[in-house]
Amino acid sequence: MNLSNVRINVENDVENEIKFALNTPISVKKLSLAVIEEMKKISDLSHLDVTGLSKIPLGKLRNNAVRLHAVCRYKNGVKKTDEISPISVRCIDIHPRVLNDRWSRYANFLLFHEFLHALGFSNHGKEFRRLEALWHDGIAREMGPSFTSYLRNMNAGWLWVCPSCDIRHMRCKRSNGRYRCRLCHGSLVDIKR
User: Which candidate, 148, 186, 146, places its Cα nearest to that of 165?
Assistant: 186
Q: Residue 73 in contact with residue 90, Cβ under 8 Å? A: yes
- Least distance between Zn ion and beta carbon 122 (Å): 9
The smaller minimum CB distance to Zn ion, of residues 128 and 158, is found at 128
Q: How far apart are CA 181 and CA 163, in angstroms?
A: 9
Nearer to Zn ion, 22 or 78 (CB): 78
Cite the beta strand spans of 5-88 per DSSP E. 58-60, 70-74
Binding site for Zn ion (CB under 5 A): 162, 164-165, 181, 183-184
Shortest distance in whole angstroms from residue 123 CB to Zn ion: 8
How many angstroms separate the CA atoms of 47 and 119, rounded? 10
Nearer to Zn ion, 73 or 105 (CB): 73
Query: CB of residue 100 vs Zn ion: minimum separation in angstroms?
Result: 22
- Min dist. Cβ of residue 165 to Zn ion (A): 3
Considering beta carbons, is residue 75 or 153 the nearer one to Zn ion? 75
Rounded Cα distance, 122 and 83, in Å: 10
**Residue 79 CB contacts under 8 Å (≥ 6 apart), including other chains:** none
